[in-house]
Amino acid sequence: MEQGSKAALGWATRDASGHLSPYSFSRRAPKDDDVTIKVLFCGICHTDLHTIKNDWGNTMYPLVPGHEVVGTVTDVGAGVSKFKVGDTVGVGYFVDSCRTCESCKKGQESYCPDMVPASNGVDSDGTTTQGGFSDVLVVAQDYVVRLPESLPPAGAAPLLCAGLTVYCPMVEYGLNAPGKHLGVVGLGGLGHVAVKFGKAFGMKVTVISSSPGKREEALDRLGADAFLVSRDPEQMKAAASTMDGIIDTVSAGHPIVPLLELLKPRGQMVVVGAPSEPLQVPALAIIQGGKRVAGSAGGGVAECQEMLDFAAEHGITADVEVVGMDYVNTAMERLEKNDVRYRFVVDVAAAWRY
C-alpha cells in the first residue's frame, strides 16, 4: 500500500459476468484539498449495470461500481474550506475534471473531455477510480456537494445522478415554466423523479408509458396530470401537438417518431436514457413543425447543489428500495428486468463495522 493511502473495503466485479464480491483495495493518499467520506448509502444506476458487464467495452477490472453516494465527512485536508468533519455530503457521477476547459469554466464539468467518473475512470494517481460500493471515498472538495438536512440520505442518494439527469435539461431548455406541458417517457428511476420535479415547477405533466398498469401509480401516487399508453394509436393521436417538451428517460430501444408527434411546433425533446440501439429519427420528423431533439449528460457540481436545494425546498426524494450489500447481485438482476420501484439504494454503512 502506498504511503499515506487509505485501506478500503468494497464489493467489486472481476469480469464481464458482473458478479460482485468482497474486495480489499486502497484509496489514494488524501491531498490538502481532499475530503474523506464514510459512505452511508449508494444508489444503483443502470450505468452501473452496463459498466460491470462491460456493455460499452471500456470496463477496467476489478471494478467497484457506484456513483450516487451519500456519506459523512470524517477528515478534511489542510486546504479544505467548504466542509468540516461531521457534514453529510454527496458525490455524484464524476470526481474530477480538467478545471480549465470551456465546459469546466462554465460549471458544466460533466462535459469536460477529461472528466473523471467516480467509477471506472483514471484517478490523479493513475489508478482506476473505485465507486461508492465501498466503505470510504477520498474526493477533492470541489466535486463534493452538501446534502440539505431535510433530505433523508437514502432517498436523496439517487438524486445525485437520476435527479440531476432530469433536472438540468428541464432548466436548460425552459421546461420548468409554470403552466407548460411536459411529457415524461418512462416511469422508472429517472422518470418518476422527472414527474416530481415537473409538478414542483408548476407544470402540467403527462406520463407516457408502454405499460398500461402504471396509470394508477402515475396519476394517483406521483401526481401526474395525465397518462398515455404509447402503444395505443388512438391515445397518441388525441394528444398530438399538445406538449411543450418531452423528457425521454427510457434506456431500451423504442420508437421516437410517435413521441415527436406529441410536441407542439418548435417543441423540445431531450433524450436522457441511453438505449444501445441507434435512435431512428427521419429528417422530416423534425423538419416539419421545427421539432428539436437534444441529449443531456447530467450537470455540473453547482447545478447538482442547486438541484438538491430545490429538492429539499419541495420535499422531493427518489422512491427507493433499500437493500444490504449482500443483496447487491440480486438487485442487479432485478434491475436488468426493471423489477424495482424505482431505485435500489445500498445501505453501505451496514455492510462493515466501524
Residue 352 domain-assigned? no
Single pTM value for the model: 0.95
CATH code of the domain covering residue 179 = 3.40.50.720
301's CB contacts (< 8 A; 6+ apart) are 107, 109, 142, 143, 145
Question: 46-50, 118-122, 167-171, 179-183: lowest mean pLDDT where?
Answer: 46-50
Shared domain check, 224 and 106: no
Shared domain check, 151 and 259: no
Shared domain check, 72 and 178: no
Domain around 235: 162-295
Shared domain check, 343 and 247: no
State pLDDT tens for residues 220-247: 999 999 999 999 999 999 999 999 999 9
Shared domain check, 97 and 85: yes
State pLDDT tens for residues 146-202: 999 999 999 999 999 999 999 999 999 999 999 999 999 999 999 999 999 999 999
Shared domain check, 177 and 151: no
Task: Give the count of domains, the chain.
Answer: 2
Shared domain check, 272 and 136: no
State pLDDT tens for residues 51-77: 999 988 999 999 999 999 999 999 999
Residue 305 domain-assigned? no
Q: How far apart are CA 16 and CA 82, in angstroms?
A: 39
Query: What sign for the dihedral angle of Cα 188, 167, 280, 50?
Result: negative
Residue 135 domain-assigned? yes
Shared domain check, 102 and 32: yes
DSSP string, 173-186: TTTT-TT-EEEEE-
